[in-house]
Amino acid sequence: MEDRPGALGAVASRIGSVRGDLVGIEILERGGGRAVDEIVVEIPDPELLHLLVREVHEVDGVEVESVRELDTPHDVRLDPLEITLRLLARETPEQVAGVLTEQMREMFEFNFAAVVDTAAASIVAEAGQAPEVSWLAAFARGGALLNGNSAVAGHDEEMVVFGLDFQGWSFVASRRELAYRALERSQAFMLCSIAGRYCRVLAAVGDSPAAG
C-alpha cells in the first residue's frame, strides 16, 4: 500500500465491511513511498474471501500480493523467540542445525531449507527436498557475498544463504511465489547468527578437558 496516513485504516475498514476481524499485522518492508504489510484476518465464512479481496482492492494505492490460509495461527513477533528457545535446548551442533532448518522452513514458508558443510560438500541437516548436494554446496560457497540477500533462481523462486561462521557451515533455503522481504531477511540473519554462535559454544564445551 501507499505509505501514507490513513491507508491502513481504510484497509481495516474494508475488512470490517465484510465481517472480517483483523487479528494481526506486521510491516514487512517500507521504501519508495510504499509499505508491504502482512495482515492476518479471520472471516466467518471462507466464501467471503473473494469479496474481502475485492473490497481491499477498492482502497486507492492498495494491492493484494498474495492470500494464503494459516493452518496454525501464529504471532510473527514471538516466532523468532520460540525458535531461539528450541535452538538453545539442543546439545550438539548437528541438533541445532536440525532445529534451525525445520523451524526456519516453517516460519518463512521455504520450500526447502538446509545447513550445508561447504568444505565437505555434505548436508548437515535439511527440511524439505533440497537440491543435489554438490550443487547446493557450490551455491553456498558462491553465495557467501549474498549473506541473506535473495538471488533469483527462477522466474518464481528466490534463494537465500547465510554463513553460520562455524566450520564452514551455511544455511541455504529457497521460497517460491512469495517475495522475500526486509523484515524476514533481518529475522533470518539473527536466527542463523544465534545458531552459529551456539554451535561454537557447544563445540568448545565438547573439546574442553572437563567434558571428557
pLDDT band for position 24 (cuts 50, 70, 90): confident
pLDDT, average across residues 85-89: 96
Measure CA 35 to chain center: 18
Among 63-72, 88-97, 201-210, where is mean pLDDT lowest?
201-210
pLDDT, average across residues 177-201: 89
Span between the terminal Cα atoms of the chain, in Å? 58
Domains of the chain: 1-73 (3.30.70.260), 79-211 (3.30.450.30)
Task: Check pLDDT > 70 for residue 14.
Answer: yes
Cell 495461527, residue located: 73
pLDDT, average across residues 146-155: 59
Task: Check pLDDT > 70 for residue 64.
Answer: yes
Q: Look up residue 52 and give its DSSP letter.
A: H
Q: For all residues of the chain together, what is the average pLDDT?
A: 86
pLDDT, average across residues 85-110: 95
**What is the longest distance spanned by two Cα atoms in the chain?**
67
Task: Check pLDDT > 70 for residue 1.
Answer: yes
What is the per-residue pLDDT for 178? 75
pLDDT, average across residues 3-17: 91
What is the per-residue pLDDT for 200? 96
